[in-house]
Structure 1
Amino acid sequence: MILRSMWNEPYLETCCRSALHRLCLAGAVGRPAGQRDDPCLLRMEGMGFVRDNGQGRFFVTDEGKARHAREVLKVADGLKPASARHG
């Protein structure tokens, strides 16, 4: 049953996970278009993890933040990262 839920999520290549992480680090400023990770950002936009504001900047969606927490930060749903618990 665990495998079934895993296969229902689109796979993120290592480069896309890195791009998602950089995008999350950019925060409210977003990430400018025209960078080497544009293909990944455009792919993730199609998945609903990223949005383009139409003015040449990418931003992470709530869905993207959740995926980043689960897959990049390895945080279980509903739990805070260890760094947030100790601060």
Structure 2
Amino acid sequence: MPRQIRFPKTKRERAMSAQLAALNERLEVIERRHCKLQNTVEALGREAGVSVGSPCSHCDESYMLIKNGHMYCPHCGHRRTM
């Protein structure tokens, strides 16, 4: 198989590569932070006797919290029994 020749990147290609690398780094930081926050919320829920359920079907801005047979959304206040 012939060896592929790689020409030097243009200024635009270098800028796009740098931007892509920066976005990739930001995404990795956000994913790590998200995992930490998720672990913290789950632990707080266990300590308070509350479970985290599915996303709210009413506003889709928060997860439903489950306690004592009831589900409620902390964002919009939507409630329902289980």
Where on the TM-score scale, by shorter chain, does this alignment land: which range? Answer: under 0.3
Higher relative contact order (CA 8 A, sep 6+): 1
Q: Which has the larger radius of gyration?
A: 2
Higher helix share: 1
Higher strand share: 2
TM value normalised by structure 2? 0.24
